[in-house]
């Protein structure tokens, strides 16, 4: 659980954490690889830093990032890449 706690008393945060205990569980990752679909805009044509961060997170899970596909930030392009 992530709580952004600006100006929240610590007792309230502790209470929220306690209330959430048991509400979720974590199971081991069963997939070994993932592909990533990235959208681009004219103002931000590539996201090398973001892709590297996601690759690192995936690898921390013991997975590999097999393919990175970049498409325009448009519904048709995204739908086409997913089909």
The residue ranges of every structural domain in the chain are 27-82
- Alpha-carbon separation of residue 15 from 3, 18, 24, 51, 82 (angstroms): 12, 5, 16, 36, 41
Instruction: Give Cα 64 distance to the centre of its chain.
Output: 15
pTM: 0.66
Q: Share the mean pLDDT of the chain.
A: 89
pLDDT computed for residue 4 by the predictor: 67
pLDDT at 81 over 90: yes
Contact present, 67 and 58 (Cβ < 8 Å): no
Quick one: average pLDDT of 48-77? Answer: 95
Instruction: Give Cα 81 distance to the centre of its chain.
Output: 19
Q: What is the pLDDT of residues 5-39, one digit of tens each?
A: 677 888 988 898 898 888 878 889 999 999 999 99
pLDDT computed for residue 74 by the predictor: 95
């Amino acid at each position: 659980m992530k709580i952004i706690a600006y100006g929240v008393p610590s007792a309230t945060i502790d209470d929220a954490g306690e209330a959430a205990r048991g509400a979720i569980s974590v199971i081991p990752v069963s997939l070994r690889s993932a592909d990533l679909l990235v959208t681009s805009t004219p103002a931000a044509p590539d996201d090398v830093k973001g892709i590297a961060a996601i690759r690192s997170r995936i690898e921390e899970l013991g997975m590999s990032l097999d393919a990175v596909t970049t498409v325009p930030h448009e519904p048709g392009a995204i739908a086409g890449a997913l089909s």
